[in-house]
Amino acid sequence: MAVLLLGLCSVPAEPQDAVFREAFALYRAGSIAEARSILLKAVTSSSPSALDYTLLGSIDYQAGRLNDAEHYLRRALALMPALPGTRLTLANVLAAQGKNSEARAAFGKVLAADPRNVEALMALGRLQMERRRFSEAATLFERALKIAPADTDAAIELARVKNLQGQSEAALALLLNLKKIAPDDGNVLYALGALCLQMDLLKDATANLERAVQLQPENAKALYALASARVANRDFPQAITIYKKLLAGGPGNAQVNYALGATYFITSDYSDAKPCFERSVQLQPAQVESFYYLGLIAGDEGDTAKSIALLKKVIERQPDHARAHIALGLAYRSSGRLAEARDELETAVRLNSKSQKAHYQLGLILAALKQQRAAKTQLEIASRLRTESDDKVSWELATPDQAAKHATATPRK
């Protein structure tokens, strides 16, 4: 927006632009509604100017009236295609509307006219990341950094794309160097801490995230990452305190409600975990994981029928959820439905052949069904496997079509 305002200031005023100058002065003085009212009258006159349309479109963009903003900015460009900053603002409006193909084309035109436009390079890079065009995104961020070496956002985004390309060490090196340049930049410290957490560098993760939170106490992403680091360090009381703080500021966050419930679940505090999962489900009904843990809690409470219903819902939404198949198999076994239990555990073994729990429980079921040879095979496999991921709490609030990566921790039984 600053680029656009500078551009508008640099355009010579024609006599018919007196209305624009009045509106622009009001806009800069903070009288936005009054400026918009004047501009609306101007654009319905017999000779509206490109400047009128541009400023009106920019005001509507800032106010979130994206359809109107797009209309006015397009009208401005039709009258004056080279008006400084207008096409960049239009590109941002298109991106905000989710019209990514049109936005990419608009940013491309901006860069064709001004190859050193860092804002356009950054925005186009982010759009390429959404398409998983990581090489193109990296090139754009690198170009931005060459033009503006002190731009921490460009360096952070480049590190992010390197990490997504599987180059976590390169991403870490970038962020460590950036920290030397900007040691008290909360965004840099958050990005570095989050990457260290992903790489299981827990000491470094905790130190950087603690400092990020000190610098930006209301940075919800940094707080969430710090809570995840606390969980990874098995400092559950501190993690719970942070999650509660986040919910105090935004109780309608399904992910944080889920994470708090998962932390309670780890400590076997099912009575406190249950309402957290229930709130998470209310806020995001399409998810998977809260239903899974509610199914486990229902089984722990002795409500096998409810447990089965909830676990079946998980499997309907995510058929490859191996842990849900194990849990459903155990629920069937507890209700005497051994053949169905066997089917679920066989599916679990097929989905996760390294699950000691799945093999062991399948062996027990097969023995109960008098299939001794098959039972012996499964129990022998189980004896060779390590207890590892069977009972892990997943930190992703998974939906059938989307999953975000988070840390994991093993609950105590």
Task: Say if CB 110 and CB 91 are below 8 A apart.
Answer: yes
Of 394, 409, 225, 218, the C-alpha closest to 318 is: 394
What's the total number of domains in the chain? 1
Q: When comparing pLDDT for 48 and 403, which is higher?
A: 48
Q: Is the pLDDT of residue 2 over 70?
A: no
Residue 233 lies in a domain: no
Q: Is 112 exposed, middle or buried (0-12, 13-18, 19+ CB in 10 A)?
A: exposed
Q: CB-side exposure of 24: number of CA atoms within 13 Å?
A: 19
Which residues lie below 8 Å from residue 349, measured CB to CB, with a gap of 6+? 355, 358, 359, 362, 378
SS3 374: helix
Residue 388 has pLDDT above 90, yes or no: no
For 271-306, how does the pLDDT look when each residue is reduced to its tens digit (9 = 90+)? 999 999 999 999 999 999 999 999 999 999 999 999
Q: Which residue has the higher pLDDT, 399 or 127?
A: 127
Per-residue pLDDT, 10: 45
For residue 47, how many other CB atoms are within 10 A of its CB? 7
Whether residue 3 has pLDDT greater than 70: no
360 touches 387 (CB < 8 A): no
What confidence score (pLDDT) does residue 18 get?
82
Q: Which 3 state secondary structure label does DSSP give 71?
A: helix
Name the more confident of 228 and 386: 228
Q: Does any domain span residue 229?
A: no
297 in a structural domain: no
- The pair of structure tokens assigned to 97 is 């509307």
Determine the average pLDDT of the residues in 347-365. Answer: 96
Q: What is the pLDDT, as a whole number, of residue 411?
A: 37
Contact between 398 and 288 under an 8 Å Cβ cutoff? The reply is yes
The mean pLDDT value for 314-332 works out to: 97
41 found inside a domain: yes
Task: Please write the tens of the pLDDT for every residue from 186-219.
Answer: 999 999 999 999 999 999 999 999 999 999 999 9
End-to-end CA gap in the chain? 55
- Are 261 and 273 in contact by the 8 Å Cβ rule? The answer is yes
Q: Does residue 148 fall inside a structural domain?
A: no
Structure tokens at 148: 């503006």
**DSSP class of 411:** P
Q: Is residue 353 part of a domain?
A: no
Q: Write down the residue that tokens 């843990």 correspond to.
A: 293
Would 398 be classed as within a structural domain?
no
> What share of the chain in percent tops pLDDT 70?
90
Q: What is the band of 6 on the pLDDT scale with cuts at 50, 70, 90?
A: very low
In a domain, 43, yes or no: yes
pLDDT band with cut points at 50, 70 and 90 for residue 398? low
Query: Which of these, 397, 394, 392, 391, lies nearest to 256 by C-alpha position?
Result: 397
Give the global pTM.
0.81
Domain that holds residue 1: 1-114
